[in-house]
Structure 1
Amino acid sequence: MPNFLHRATVAAVSLLLASGHVHAYDFDPQSTDSIKDVAQQLAADLMSMYNGNQVGQTPGLLPQPYYWWEAGALMGALIDYWYYTGDTTYNEITQQGMLHQVGPYNDFMPPNQTLTEGNDDQGFWGMAAMSAAEYNFQNPEPGQPQWLALAQAVFNTQAARWDTEHCNGGLRWQIFTWNNGFDYKNSISQACFFNLAARLALYTGNSSYADWATKTWDWMVAVEFIDENYRIYDGATVGHNCTDITPYEFSYNVGGFLLGAAAMVEYSNKAMKTDNAAIWHERVDGLLNSTELIFFFGDDVNDKVMIEVACERT
């Protein structure tokens, strides 16, 4: 993986998985052994909440009160964990959980999630499948859906939902009309879609994915969900033509767009589009700089702490 994309990946994973839980670990960022040791502890702590591999439980699901999308984020985190540490402890559990949730059409649309599944929820599972493809995670058996095909299926179903009738584009938060939030377009749904489009462009070399990534970013800017300082706001309702912006800022929005923008830098470089690469590089830098100002608090670099500003006190 190119070094630039590698750095953005690490930052994006951290932002996508940020939460309000507080736990102390003895961590030395200058030591590879320390990094792997803390990662192992984190993975074990995460898996202490998971029972989907036990008899009578459902693979891929976390117990209440955790949502289906959070289980998808967990699967993606476990794939990242294996890739960066080489520890295969959770690989079988991860593969089992991923494949159990693909649904009858192999697009992460399981019927038992129709009461809660939004575009962002589906997107988290699609991003996990994309990571599995990029990292060459252990492949499913022949006859089972493969990682790249799963990521592409999520992208295809979401591209078909791009809604130009309201707000001149964008994805709604919810997929089904009966769910609260169907009248809302939010940044995390766009972030997941953009993330997939950009990474599929880089992985396949197909320019149509890059066009969708550009289209999504441009729409976010047009409706001012991304402002001139690269701050990303939660979303707005279709009834007000997406002008009643909810100003909450969440780190996972930045994480999704950051990794996608980094992938667009690499795609543009490979396609010999140096002007485009420069534009996307500027956006990566803008997101990173904005993130440091918004989500990290402290007097200096040595004691800064990351918080979720929308729901934690500074």
Structure 2
Amino acid sequence: MRLFATQKGTRWAAIPLVLSGLVSLSQAISLDVNDESSIKAAAKIAAEGLVDYYHGNEPGQIQGNLPQPYYWWECGAMFGALIDYWYYTGDDQFNQIVIDGMLHQVGTDNAFMPPNQTQSLGNDDQAFWGIAAMMAAERGFPNPPGSSPQWLALAQAVFNSQAVRWDSDTCNGGLRWQIFSFNNGYDYKNTISNGCFFHLAARLARYTGNQTYADWAEKSYKWSHAVGLISKDYKFYDGATVATNCTSMDPIQWTYNGGIYLAGAAFMYNITNGTGFWADELGAILEAQKVYFKDEKVMYEVACEPYGKCNVDQRSFKAYLARWMGVTTQVAAFTREKIMAWMAQSAAGAAGNCIGGTNKQTCGGRWTPDVSAKWDGNFGVGEQMSALEIFQNLLAPNYRPPCTAGDCGNSTGDPNAGTGNSIQSGRTNRPATTGDKVGAGFLTTLCLGLLIGGTYWLVI
């Protein structure tokens, strides 16, 4: 079956979604992975279940915050999922809570650094909000009121505020995990913070055409390889301490680390017309993602899921790999066959696990055949968002790629946004002032001691 998607009045050519042989499921969330209407119906159920956890739009609540035990960054991640939900389904019922919540959390210098998050504000936390703003610009999401900061400018503000934190004094470069020196984790350089910075730079480069972003993306990516966050065989490790000058690497692997670099490389591949360095890197990264697919079929969180040890944050990680695989198929067509085979089987498994709760539509977190067609007993924002992302990104190859300023993009930017922020590796520095240059999350809840020395999940 061939699907066709309509966006702003234009029909876009489509490709067959998945390999043949997959059948529809008949659980509470019924899903035919080859049928567009079935996919959208499943995504709607998952999205409505996700938003049930959000109360920021209710009287007396804080817009842009999820209730405990969820950290601030995950609400930004959720808004990113809902932006794509609108894009793929046309259902705008959640748009206003996204707009209101994101604008409420822009914080200092419109760089998503709200003062009430200082005690746990990491570069990765901030970046997840910046990436959501970037997605809004690329997807043509409804713009904020004219008196408010605009999506592109918000993404630029995050990038600019992080570029001045590039720390060459330790490990020959890179971003630290935490922004402020008084926070635990400040002495750790982790893969997700640096991956988010690379990813955002790549997307800004493609959207704006500004070479400075592309230069930063390449610099960050090559540093990640050189320091060992990315191994020679393209394993994406967790991070390393500055005390060892990043020579002692924690080799734990998370889905979202592979995904953030996969999509970033795909955007760079697209910018360079699919040739040379980025073609080779993207192919190698894609092949390495098979570690996150049990028997190379169904996505799972290899470091914790088989042992029932995933914490609140980690239960959402599969959502981001699904999201970033989806957008990868849009900007790098050669990845589609492999990615969509993985996505289809994973989505079928996820639908089979969305039979929990009193409504029999609550999604669990385990999609592999040993728990498919039954609820694993887990539930929450992470489980629900992961199901939503794996469902809606089945549609990705058949929808228009993210906009650029030269085609369908209409978000107003500001290359100097965020340069008033003076936090550089926890120290006060003079802000950048060059107007035509742009170079100036999240709290993982793992105890830093465990990250550094205790628990090594060796994934082969």
Q: When the two structures are superposed, what TM-score results if normalisation uses the length of structure 2?
A: 0.60
Match of 1:191 among 191, 195, 216: 195
C-alpha separation between the residues in 2 aligned to 1:100 and 1:255?
A: 28
Matched, 1:286 2:279: no
- 2:112 maps to 108
Query: Which one of 50, 57, 61 corresponds to residue 53 of structure 1?
Result: 57
Q: Does 1:204 align with 2:208?
A: yes
Give how far 1:25 is off.
3.6
Take 2:286 and 2:33, find their aligned partners in 1: how far apart are those partners? 19
SS across alignment from 1:114: helix
Please state if 1:130 is matched with 2:134. Answer: yes
Question: Which residue identity is paired with 2:214?
Answer: A
Work out which of the residue numbers 281, 293, 301 in structure 2 matches 1:308.
301
Q: 2:72, 2:238 → 1: CA distance?
A: 20
Deviations 1:156-177 (CA, angstroms, capped at 9, x unpaired): 0000000000000000000011
Give the Cα separation in 2 of the matches to 1:24 and 1:250. 29
Write the letter of the residue equivalent to 2:123.
Answer: N
1:311 positional shift: 1.2
Correspondence 1:296 to 2:293: yes
Q: Are residue 118 (structure 1) and residue 115 (structure 2) matched?
A: no
Alignment partner of 1:143 is 2:111: no
Q: Tell which structure's C-alpha radius of gyration is larger.
A: 2
Query: Whole-Å Cα distance in 1 between the matches of residues 92 and 72 of structure 2?
Result: 24
Give, in whole Å, the separation in 2 of the partners of 1:98 and 1:284: 31
Question: 1:17 maps to what in 2?
Answer: none
Q: Which one of 147, 154, 157 corresponds to residue 153 of structure 1?
A: 157
Using the aligned pairs only, state the percent identity. Answer: 57
User: 2: CA distance between counterparts of 1:59 and 1:82?
Assistant: 19
Q: 1:44 Cα shift?
A: 1.0
Aligned partner of 2:277: which letter? Answer: I
How far did 1:267 drift? Answer: 1.2
Q: Distance in 1 between matches of 2:133 and 2:121?
A: 17
Match of 2:377 in 1: none
* 3-state SS in 2 of match to 1:134: helix
How big is the shift at 1:310?
A: 1.4
Q: How many Å separate the matches in 1 of 2:206 and 2:165?
A: 23
User: CA separation in 1, counterparts of 2:196 and 2:42?
Assistant: 28
Aligned residue in 2 for 1:81? 85
Letter in 2 for 1:258: L
Count matched residues: 285
Q: Distance between the aligned counterparts of 1:163 and 1:157, measured in 2?
A: 13
Does the alignment pair 1:258 with 2:262? yes
Aligned match for 2:102, one of 98, 111, 123:
98
1:11 is matched with which residue? none
SS for the counterpart of 2:283 is helix
> Which one of the candidate residues 167, 187, 190 is aligned to 1:163?
167
Distance 1:174 1:205 in 2: 30
SS at match of 2:55: coil
- One-letter identity of the residue aligned with 1:223: V
- Kindly report structure 1 stretches of 4+ aligned residues shifted beyond 4 Å: none
Q: For 1:313, what is the secondary structure of its paired residue? A: helix
SS at structure 1 position matched to 2:250: coil
Once the two structures are superposed, what CA deviation does each residue of 1:158-212 show, in whole Å capped at 9, x if it has no partner? 0000000000000000001111100000000011101110000000000110000
Q: Distance in 1 between matches of 2:241 and 2:227?
A: 11
CA shift, 1:24, in A, is 7.4
Q: Which amino acid aligns with 1:285?
A: G
In structure 2, how many angstroms separate the alpha carbons of the residues matched to 1:159 and 1:215? Answer: 11
Deviation at 1:305, TM superposition (A): 2.2
Cα distance in structure 2, aligned partners of 1:310 and 1:202: 33
- TM (normalized to structure 1)? 0.87
1:19 corresponds in structure 2 to none
Within 2, Cα distance between the matches of 1:225 and 1:250? 12
Root mean square deviation of aligned Cα: 1.9
1:60 shift after superposition: 0.6
Q: Which amino acid aligns with 1:295?
A: Y
Q: CA 1:202/1:24 → structure 2, altered by over 3 Å: closer, same or farther?
A: farther
- Find the residue that maps to 1:236 and give its secondary structure: strand
**Distance in structure 2 (CA, Å) of the matches to 1:121 and 1:108:** 9
Indicate the residue corresponding to 1:10 in structure 2.
Answer: none
How far apart, CA to CA, are the structure 1 residues paired with 2:228 and 2:28?
38
User: What secondary structure sits across from 2:176 in the alignment?
Assistant: coil
